[in-house]
Amino acid sequence: MSSLKLGLIGAGKIVRDQHLPAIRQTPAFRLAATADPYASLDDVPAFTEMHAMLDAHPDIEAVSICTPTALRFETARAALSRGRHVLLEKPPGATLSEVEALIELASQQQVTLFAAWHSRYAPGVAQAKAWLANRRIDQVHIEWKEDVRVWHPGQAWIWQPGGMGVFDPGINALSIATAILPAPFFLQKAKLWMPENVQAPIAAKLSFVDAQGAAIAADFDFRQTGAQTWDIHVESDDHSLSLTQGGCKLAIDGEVILDEEEQEYRGLYDHFAELIGAGRSAVDIAPLRHVADAFLYGYRETTEAFIE
């Protein structure tokens, strides 16, 4: 199978850090051009907007949309309308209704739409899911804490409506939890800490329960300094499972059974190619639904202003 020509919409930090290396390692795709009004990549044809890119390169068959969240819907709708397969960086949209509209449009256009929950492709996630599949879940504790100044320097959009604040990384944890836990779970209460000068939370605590009564707690914080924390701990049938380092390290009953380097985005692009080849889409809205529930149901507490 020949490589599919791919266009990148957005050429910022996440593209440079993750997408570009993964595309270079994935034989199924060949990067043809980028579209970004403010940035470009070395040795890649660059355009300031997507339509100009597609007009100049009509052989581009697929695009990856890596813009700030609030911009993704119109960009994705335009790409799907022009018959291109679309990979959406997480979260797939600023609202659930946007994502549902894109799912319908992709079906009408008979092209692939892929909501790319990259954390699900961490090395330990599939094995954790298999181990938990037929077990009774007793309790789960999710701790996802990082330094926003390290991971989102100068990215003011993350504090605006649709930017999601601490849920930008927190939704990664929820994408793993919804993948590995054997039953759906539901929000019971939430507390969101809102800096007085922005529109999105800097920290959040969430309490969920599943249909069997298992308690699932999530603690997200953008104010972590020093060592960063991306951990999920599950108690199940008198056993324990710990998925740490963002899913790269897996321990069962305290014994480390997997500890590998992160290769999430390579897995994303491999799966995107498989979906295109099979003529299918994959858009799971469960992680975004949990974030929407938190904003809808959460108690807000004002905290000190965020100054970068």
Would you name the residues annotated as active-site residues? 90
- The two three-digit tokens of residue 254, written as one number: 């305290």
- Cα 84 to chain center, whole Å? 21
Residue the block writes with tokens 């992160």: 262
Name residue 210's beta-bridge partners. Answer: 185
Pairing of strands 255-259, 249-252: antiparallel
Name residue 251's beta-bridge partners. Answer: 242, 256
Residue the block writes with tokens 């209460």: 189
Cα dihedral angle (75, 78, 82, 86), rounded to 10 degrees? 40
Report the alpha-carbon distance of residue 74 to residue 96 in Å, rounded.
14
CB of 187 closer than 8 Å to CB of 297 = yes
Residues 23-28: contacts with CB within 8 Å, 24+ apart?
Answer: 23/269, 25/266, 26/266, 26/269, 26/270, 26/273, 27/3, 28/1, 28/3, 28/4, 28/269, 28/270, 28/272, 28/273
Q: What angle do CA 242, 245, 249 make, to 5 degrees?
A: 55
- The two three-digit tokens of residue 266, written as one number: 């390579």
